[in-house]
Amino acid sequence: MLKTSIARSAPRTLGGARIAFRPSPFRPVNSYNQRRGYASEAEEKDVVIIGGGVAGYVAAIKAGQEGLKVACIEKRTALGGTCLNVGCIPSKSLLNNSHLYHQIVHDSKSRGIDVGEVKLNVANLMKAKETSVAGLTKGIEYLFKKNNVEWIKGTGTFADEHTLNVELTEGGERSVRAKNIIIATGSEVSPFPGLTIDEKKVVSSTGAIALTEVPKKMLVIGGGIIGLEMGSVWSRLGAEVTVVEFLGQIGGPGMDSEIAKATQRILQKQGIKFKLNTKVLSGDVSDSSISLKVEANKGGKEESLDADVVLSAIGRRPYTQGLGLDKIGLETDKSGRIIIDQEYRTKIPHIRVIGDCTFGPMLAHKAEEEGVAAIEYITKGYGHVNYGVIPSVMYTHPEVAWVGQNEEELKKAGVKYKVGSFPYSANSRAKTNQDSDGMVKFLSDAQTDRILGVHIIGPAAGESIAEAALAMEYGASSEDVARTCHAHPTLAEAVKEAAMAAYSKPIHM
């Protein structure tokens, strides 16, 4: 039996938080039966998707697999959007290789590995990143061809509710009509007031993955995932990194406060400095350096911080510029997100919206799930995305990952819960690998033992969180995980032991 986590009468939830959607009086539209006078019959598509990022290309491939006549409009010269081109993938290349460099320089001797002089080649570091990106974006092109997806290279704008005018990248224009249209235009960097991003001295995440030399000093505005990941890269390579965060903890929304504090302590040991509860007042950019004026949120003495590079990492905002939404009467909320119902439909039922430009966390895997679900709604009338079980990962070292609710959210909701935790310092594989910072933390319902949230800081946390997400998807209890045999010696045993701690008692602590 297929289960749908989004009932038509129920609002979505994100980690326990309810998100209100505009109710839709329209029934699902699976076909456009009333044919109008098309400008060109050859241009008619079952589905046209605006945006070739993670949400858009996944929806396009799924539509092709379902036998639909599909086109994807994308203005970049490569598919994959922000994630593959200037986000998730290139940043992970730099994170992985900078970690290897740091480990060779600082951690090889204790492992019985004597090395000679180690040199950093930033140009080759960037080349390795670009090779990874090129391979993956070409892979999407291959999948488009395999599944009969037409890539229209250009910028699409609504002419009417069924027609898009495309300004082609190579020149000229084209008009395409569709029975169904999916908007998947993603997001863009939120600008910091008073600082102009030039991607050289004042950089966004895009510029932070393309620096040509290691800065002596880097200031990071924003202690969320992007800021900490990029700060980690350049700190490992030799930069003096200071993170300025307005809130009282790092990690951004969703990260459990206990995990956030532990993460900060570990990153501080690695050399990253933090100024929490601090606001940036202004910035002054000169030819030689940048100076930020900051002060404590609750008032205090103004302070100047100098750096060679400033990374602005205060978040992202929906990108819908140039779509011509006003021509068809579509609305956005105060945050710029396009308003939809529980089946991703706007008030025009054959126009759906997925990914970063609408509600929910701006995560690539969330966008992928919506891409599949949107096509299923079009072809089958039902779809599935469980918004309460979408994991988040921060790829620092150690990694930080979580799924479900944190302690603060449970306390606020008045939910009675149990806590079970287990440190990697008691895990045989982590100890053997000399990589034992961190812990696994389970939160389960005090009465039913059903898992409410899992939070991990430690080696390969991003991989281990998948087990927790699968368990939660099937409504498992901490006892279910505790009684499941895990291979020895593995890092995954820490997950089992934390579940045992929530259900009863761990063995190895």
436 is in an annotated binding site: no
Which amino acid appears at position 292 of this protein? L
315 is in an annotated binding site: yes
223 is in an annotated binding site: yes
Catalytic residue among 106, 350, 384, 488: 488
Q: What Å distances lie between residue 391 and 2, 16, 111, 362, CA to CA?
A: 22, 14, 33, 12
Return the C-alpha torsion angle 453, 422, 414, 18, nearest 10.
-20
- Token pair in block for residue 85: 């081109």
92 is in an annotated binding site: yes
228 is in an annotated binding site: yes
- Which runs of E-coded beta strand occur in 110-236? 149-160, 163-168, 173-183, 187-189, 202-203, 217-221
363 is in an annotated binding site: yes
351 is in an annotated binding site: no
Listed as own residue / partner, the contacts of 474-477 with beta carbons closer than 8 Å and 24 or more positions apart are 475/450, 476/450, 476/451, 477/444, 477/448, 477/449, 477/450, 477/451, 477/503
224 is in an annotated binding site: yes
227 is in an annotated binding site: yes
245 is in an annotated binding site: yes
73 is in an annotated binding site: no
364 is in an annotated binding site: yes
> Phi first, then psi: what are they for 361, rounded to 5°?
-65, 145
Task: Write the secondary structure of 424-471 as one string of H (helix), E (strand) and C (coil).
Answer: HHHCHHHHHCCCCCCEEEEEEECCCCEEEEEEEEECCHHHHHHHHHHH
Distance between CA atoms of residues 283 and 190, nearest Å: 16
42 is in an annotated binding site: no
251 is in an annotated binding site: no
HSE at residue 398, side-chain half, CA atoms within 13 A, is 31
44 is in an annotated binding site: no
Which residues, 6+ apart, have CB-to-CB distance to 163 below 8 Å?
175, 176, 177
376 is in an annotated binding site: no
Q: Which helix (H) or strand (E) holds 291?
A: strand 290-296
SS3 content of the chain, % helix, strand, coil (to 5): 30, 25, 40
**Is 106 one of the annotated active-site residues of the chain?**
no
Distance between CA atoms of residues 200 and 246, nearest Å: 24
356 is in an annotated binding site: yes
Which residues, 6+ apart, have CB-to-CB distance to 155 below 8 Å?
73, 75, 166, 167, 169, 322
Return the C-alpha torsion angle 326, 331, 336, 338, nearest 10.
-110
Distance between CA atoms of residues 64 and 73, nearest Å: 15
260 is in an annotated binding site: no
156 is in an annotated binding site: yes
185 is in an annotated binding site: yes
- Give catalytic residue positions: 488
List binding-site positions for NAD(+).
Answer: 222-229, 245, 315
List binding-site positions.
Answer: 92, 156, 185-187, 222-229, 245, 315, 356, 362-365
List binding-site positions for FAD.
Answer: 92, 156, 185-187, 356, 362-365
